[in-house]
Amino acid sequence: MGNIESSLLNIGYLETLSYQQTPLHRLDPRVKLLTTLIFIVAVVSFGKYEITGLVPFLIYPVVLIAVGNLPPGYLAKKILIAAPFAFFIGIFNPLLDRAVLVQLGPVGISGGWVSFASIMIRFTLTVSAAFILIAGTGLNAVCLALDKLGAPRIFVMQLLFLYRYIFVLTEEALRMVRARALRAFDGRGLGFGSYSSMVGHLLLRTLERARRIHLAMLSRGFEGRIHLLRPLHLHRGDVVFFLGWSTLFVLLRRYNLSQWCGAWIMGLVT
């Protein structure tokens, strides 16, 4: 039961971070969404053997974490939870691509290991940008930005409800686990045999709870639109944020800053 409660609080904490009043949180959500999309496109557009060109893109999540007063440890844990998906996608590359691509003294590094490192770096950059967007904006504002930018409304509402009903599912599971623990004596009824019926009852209770929530929304005038207390208005700071970061992403994508700095430093040393 403690694990379910901690998981529920852990999910909600990311949304709680979006309630802060920092320069990052005060930006227009449409600007932050578009900037994040440009960042992700720039990162994933690199070749599979690119590593040095990706390193300068770390400036974006680092600056936003600092400006938005976001906890880096919490975000790092979130990234580590999702990291196995990228890990198992790229871990087979060294077996398939064994040609030596980089020679570091007597040690030869195959293209498979280089592409694996590139996958992990791109995964870290893109996932951290997505988490920062949610923590610095809130999913309600992100969905509203998608709606204002012309995304299909049915897609936007499905995305919003999918996120919201995670809490409904978790709360119902928490009630069932607590009731099961209170009715179990001497460890009876705590085995795996009762899980199948619990899963079925959880589905039925969640559907019934969702139906009641939907009726309550309709009775309060819900008509398929997202409403926020704060209206969306573009300010000069929003335009500067978007143009500044977008220009930087284009320059970092076109020019390898790491190689340029390395060549400049070597020129000074020699």
- Tens digit of each residue's pLDDT (9 = 90 or more) over 83-131: 888 888 888 888 887 777 776 767 777 778 888 888 999 999 999 999 9
- pLDDT tier at 186, thresholds 50, 70, 90: low
| In a domain? residue 263 | no
**Which residues have C-beta within 8 Å of that of residue 28, sequence separation ≥ 6?**
145, 232, 233, 234, 235, 238
Q: What is the pLDDT of residues 195-208, one digit of tens each?
A: 667 777 777 777 78
| In a domain? residue 80 | yes
| In a domain? residue 171 | yes
| In a domain? residue 177 | yes
DSSP letters for 99-157: SEEEEETTEEEEHHHHHHHHHHHHHHHHHHHHHHHHHHH-HHHHHHHHHHTT--HHHHH
Q: What is the pLDDT of residue 4?
A: 47
CB-based contact 89:119 (threshold 8 Å): yes
Structure tokens of 163? 């996120």
| In a domain? residue 137 | yes
Residues 59-69, mean pLDDT to the nearest whole number:
93
Residues 182-196, mean pLDDT to the nearest whole number:
63
Number of domains in the chain: 1
| In a domain? residue 115 | yes
Phi, psi of 262 (to 5 degrees): -65, -45
Domain extent at residue 8: 2-225+233-256
Rounded CA-CA distance 176/19 in Å is: 31
Q: What is the pLDDT of residues 17-29, one digit of tens each?
A: 888 889 998 999 9
| In a domain? residue 59 | yes
